[in-house]
Amino acid sequence: VNLQKAEFILSAASARDFRTDGLPQVAFAGRSNVGKSSVINRLLGRKNFARVGAAPGKTIHINYFLIDGGFYLVDLPGYGYAKVSKSERDRWARLMESYFAHPELMTLGVMIVDSRHNPTADDCTMAQWFRDTGRPMVVVANKLDKLKKSEIGPNLQRIRETLELDEETIVIPFSAEKGTGREELLSAILSGAGV
Ligand code: GDP
């Protein structure tokens, strides 16, 4: 597995479409606009693989990408966008609840937060959902390029505390823009997914 080959498999709108073939699933979650698509593109070394800047709230799907035929990268729908309707919010909740109702499907959770800010209440809820699966989780602190050097340490510590991470959970300083942290995320995924 070296991330040479990445193919889009499908957009799941409900549990009926979930992949259940036993391949490892690495699930990515994050607030809308946190840069989840950019992180995925950087990881895979693609420009426009996961759609960057897609209208927030308009993409309530779980997208499956097959990586090197060895595992699925599962792109969970973003959350926390203020301007979505109640019906979209409900749709999001139904889809996420049904994915997390099958924790055996997920091998590793990758949670993306903004390194500039304290995690939101939604981020904390998301981290709790990941924890409840009993599966390992990796936190990616994105947009590192926006921080002053002196802010990095304290911000990472604050993220760790606010999300109540245990000692095994790593927080990776990352910049999708600059490529910082790509190797660390890659090895965390390959070891976490057992591929
Ligand atoms: P998504 O909604 O979480 O998928 O976020 P996108 O990948 O669409 O990114 C949202 C915005 O943040 C876009 O304007 C990106 O160019 C920008 N962005 C993403 N990652 C970074 C980063 O590491 N640094 C900076 N400065 N901007 C970023």
Domain map of the chain by residue range? 6-192
How distant is the alpha carbon of residue 101 from its chain centre?
18
Cα 173 to averaged position of ligand 1 atoms, centre (Å): 15
Cα 81 to averaged position of ligand 1 atoms, centre (Å): 14
H or E stretch covering 40: helix 36-44
Confidence check on the interface: ipTM exceeds 0.85, yes or no: yes
Per-residue model confidence as pLDDT tens digits over 129-183: 999 999 999 999 999 999 999 999 999 999 999 999 999 999 999 999 999 999 9
Mean pLDDT of 57-64: 79
The minimum-distance atom of ligand 1 relative to the CA of 40 is 7
User: Topology of 6-192 in CATH?
Assistant: Rossmann fold (3.40.50)
Query: In degrees rounded to 5, what are phi and psi of residue 73?
Result: -95, 120
| pTM, 2 dp | 0.95
Cα 176 to averaged position of ligand 1 atoms, centre (Å): 7
User: Which residue owns the Cα nearest ligand 1 atom 22?
Assistant: 143
Query: In degrees rounded to 5, what are phi and psi of residue 155?
Result: -65, -40
- Cα Rg for the chain, rounded, in angstroms? 15
Inter-residue contact 68 to 45 (CB < 8 Å) = no
**How many CA atoms are closer than 13 Å to the CA of 127, on its beta-carbon side?**
22
User: Which residue owns the Cα nearest ligand 1 atom 24?
Assistant: 143
Confidence of residue 16 (pLDDT cuts 50, 70, 90): very high
